[in-house]
Amino acid sequence: MNKTLNPWLRLLPLVAALVIAGCAMPLPPVEDRLLPATPAAFKETDGRWAQARPADAQPRGEWWKSFGDAELNRWVAQAAEQNTSIQQAAARLQQARALARQTDSARSPQVGVGAGVSRQAGLTNNGPANTVASVGVNLQYELDLFGRLSRASQAAELDAQSRAALLQSTRLLVQAETAQTYLALRTLDEERALVRDTVAAYRDTLRLTEARQQAGDIAELDVVRVRAEVAATEAEALALDQRRATLEHALAVLVGEAASSFQLPPLDWNAGLPVVPPGVPSTVLQRRPDVAAAQRSMLAAQARVGAAQAAWFPSVSLTGSAGQASSDLGDLFKWSMRSWGVGALLSLPVFDGGRRQAGVDSARAELDAALAGYREQVLVAFRDVEDQLAALRLLADQAEAQSRAVASASRATALSGTRWRNGYISQLDLLDAQRTELRNRRQALQVRAAQYQATVGLVRALGGSWDAAGA
């Protein structure tokens, strides 16, 4: 009978190897139809944009310097160092990296040193108590036959990479918000100066109107109308002051300072408006860190499905110990008191009430959610770029049309002033002309402010400066 069994016993290692190879299941595939269909070109360009995959490690460039404002450069640099959102994202990245190292440590041998002293006596006799001292080294190592540990480590590493991308995303967001807040504040200063100049002009008109009313040339109605216009314009100036205070406080938080002690005095300012070249390749879109973070989260969820599936298979752990043990402390470190042991532990779960299957189902649901999140992030990225490109194109046309409106309104005000002083038109006609000019000048400033905001918005949408495309 032994002769009959021996040939089969020789085949056991081969059978075991085949079983192990069959159990090492690949990661679940992601169907192409579930991935976002990215267009070959943006609608708002001339078609010279190409597809690209996210690669957030590419340089983004110091895009804020294209505005030619040294003070803006200083505030962006300070925000990068002192902004609390960036500091929190950096701390979360360090936490994720530590967790990745902790997870990966399970793949390495675990070595420990122990020592102990115990005193014991028999319960069935009245013999003397014995003291046993021991010291030794323990070794434990789990064989990752089915990829459970490696996939868990891979998922943790991808989580850390996702956190790194989120840190980049936070840094870009803070830079953009700092630039947008600063530029909005400076353009608001221009609008405030315009409204104040208008208030001063209205007051001069009021004094002239009151003098003419006292001379009996005009009725009191004309004076009242001018007074109402002066008061209304003063109220608008105060509303702009309130908006400026809010923006100044927001900038203080972005650069990491207390709003109570932060001041940004007005100055003569005329920053340049960067021009986006028409041939910027869409490869710059691959630097969007939020897209890269979503992609890595999806890959981490995919790896966790593999780790959950591996929980169905047995785990094999190798153990070993070596040391000294003696009932006499003086003999503890003698060679004759040495002891050692090796072992292997096979653990195969049989019934767990559905816990492992629930783990697999949970991991698959997480993968589905991460895949949907990645698809959404890609679609949002393309939408953001299209929005800002459309805004820049239309704002350029609007700025040109508004410039013509300002020129015409200014000419109308000058002609109306001459005719009013000569008595050809009423005070109401002059006020209408002045209101029209003020409205058009303010709209021109607001359009330019919107161009600044859209330019920075495009930087955010592209994941950095278009000048860094070839970097």
DSSP string, 154-172: HHHHHHHHHHHHHHHHHHH
pLDDT tier at 440, thresholds 50, 70, 90: very high
DSSP string, 255-284: TT--TTT----------------TT--GGG
Asked whether the predicted pLDDT for residue 292 surpasses 50, the reply is: yes
Mean pLDDT within 386-394: 87
Residue 102 lies in a domain: yes
Residue 144 lies in a domain: no
Exposure of 365 in the CB half-sphere (CA atoms within 13 A): 6
* 71-85 per-position pLDDT tens digit: 999 999 999 888 888
Residue 65 lies in a domain: yes
Domain membership of residue 227 as a residue range = 28-112+160-312+354-468
Percent of all residues in the chain with a pLDDT value above 90, rounded to a whole number? 19
pLDDT tier at 63, thresholds 50, 70, 90: confident
State residue 414's pLDDT score.
92
Q: What are phi and psi of 319, to 5 degrees?
A: -130, 150
Query: In the numeric block, which tokens belong to residue 260?
Result: 């109570």
Using DSSP bridges, classify how beta strands 130-143 and 315-326 pair: parallel, antiparallel or unpaired: antiparallel
Mean pLDDT within 280-300: 69
Residue 276 lies in a domain: yes
Residue 320 lies in a domain: no
Residue 140 lies in a domain: no
Residue 343 lies in a domain: no
pLDDT tier at 321, thresholds 50, 70, 90: low
Mean pLDDT within 336-363: 67
Average pLDDT, the chain: 74
**CATH code assigned at 453:** 1.20.1600.10
Asked whether the predicted pLDDT for residue 469 surpasses 50, the reply is: no
pLDDT top residue among 196 and 101: 196
Query: pTM of the predicted model, to two decimals?
Result: 0.68
* 396-408 per-position pLDDT tens digit: 999 999 999 999 9
State residue 452's pLDDT score.
92
Mean pLDDT within 255-270: 87
Residue 122 lies in a domain: no
Number of structural domains the chain divides into: 1
